[in-house]
Amino acid sequence: MISEVRGVRKLLDTLSRAQTPEQVFAFSLNSIHDIFEPNNAFVLLPEAGTKPFRTAHEHMHQPGWITDLAQPVLLAGETVGQFVLHFDSPRGMSGLDLSLLETIAAMASFTLARIHERRRFQEALQLKNEAVAMAVHELRAPLTAILGAASLLRSDRQEERDQASAMISRNARAQEQFIADLLNLTQLDAGKTPLRLAVMDVGSILEQAVEEIRPVAANANISITMQADRPIMVRGDAQRLWQIFWNLLSNAVRFVASNGEIHVLASIEDGLAKICVSDNGCGIQPDRIDHIFDRFEQVHDRRLRRYDGFGLGLAVVKEFVSMLGGRVTAQSEGPGKGATFTVRLPWVP
């Protein structure tokens, strides 16, 4: 028995240095070989797409003479592997022996959980670092443009001064929008976004957003048409609904060429309030549709810098729509064929 205890202590020390699941199973299997001396022993791992192994209680053995034995390794309630032992001749397994094997499996499970947690932390840290780096880059771009335009304000030519003033204003607004979107996402991540829920006509809020963005569209010779059934009652937050529609509309204005068109339609369909914002703009690559609502995602070629924006507006839309119990989707037939964004919210009869 003393040798078995020493074997477990050795395994405990070895597992503390394990960095991968493969090492965990290998170290544990070596310990099983040393302690129980089976004629054959291996690790059985589930294949992707196959049914899970049998549950742990089905693997329980009673003390006695055993030729084959399988000990599951559990992680978050699922069997992630099994230690399979085979003896050419029946081997007497006491209750203590079976408990020892269970202990080895539990040690492996604990170590696997530690490795998975460390990996999740590293992935989260990497995503955070990437987001910070992206934010710094996106803040620097308009700031550089503002600094360049500031030098033109000293020009003797009025045309250059007007151009510089417009450039400063445009980039300052872009920075303001970026900071607002970033703040919204930060509050969402922290669970600190308040909702003031009430039953309201979503059509009136949509109309308000359309009228507020209409001058911006008009400056680019973009027409906006709106058709809405009234009233369309939903249980929502007026401020968040306005921001959802504003972000969708401003996104459409951004990607529609001069003399382009934006169509807004609000209706009731299948017991849901349905709001569609469609345009005849640059469209979306089919392989980017699934990522269109990801943070910092920009479906156009970033090297062209033809379109402004930082890839946060649609991420904010998705989060706010989800908070209101709805769903947002995007459709496009491809580059140059426009896009349609559809928000569906629970309708209140």
User: At which of 70, 89, 120 does a domain end?
Assistant: 120
Indicate whether 90 belongs to any domain: yes
Q: Do 84 and 207 share a domain, yes or no?
A: no
Q: Are the CB atoms for 111 and 18 separated by under 8 Å?
A: yes
Return the pLDDT at 302. 46
Q: Do 74 and 223 share a domain, yes or no?
A: no
**Window from 20-24, 100-104, 189-193, 254-258 with minimum mean pLDDT:** 189-193
CATH of the domain at 329: 3.30.565.10
Q: Do 207 and 86 share a domain, yes or no?
A: no
Q: Are the CB atoms for 325 and 343 separated by under 8 Å?
A: no
Q: Do 349 and 201 share a domain, yes or no?
A: yes
Q: How many structural domains comprise the chain?
A: 2
Query: Which of the 8 DSSP states describes residue 56?
Result: G
CATH of the domain at 41: 3.30.450.40
Indicate whether 34 belongs to any domain: yes
Surface-to-core class of residue 238, CB atoms within 10 Å of its CB (0-12 exposed, 13-18 middle, 19+ buried) = middle
Return the pLDDT at 336. 87
In order, the DSSP letters of 81-146 are: EEEEEEEEEEEEE-HHHHHHHHHHHHHHHHHHHHHHHHHHHHHHHHHHHHHHHHHHHHHHHHHHHH
Indicate whether 132 belongs to any domain: no
Q: Inform me whether the pLDDT recorded for 309 exceeds 70.
A: no
Indicate whether 318 belongs to any domain: yes
Q: Which residues pair with 71 in a beta bridge?
A: 83
Q: Do 106 and 243 share a domain, yes or no?
A: no
Angle ∠(154,155,158) on CA atoms, nearest 5: 115
Residue range of the domain that includes 9: 2-120
Q: Do 7 and 103 share a domain, yes or no?
A: yes
- pTM beyond cutoff 0.95: no
User: At which of 63, 96, 120 does a domain end?
Assistant: 120
Tell me the backbone φ, ψ of residue 278, rounded to 5 degrees.
-120, 155
Strand pairing report for 339-346 and 327-331: antiparallel
Span 146-205, pLDDT tens digits: 887 888 888 888 888 888 888 888 778 767 777 777 777 777 777 777 788 999 999 999
Indicate whether 239 belongs to any domain: yes
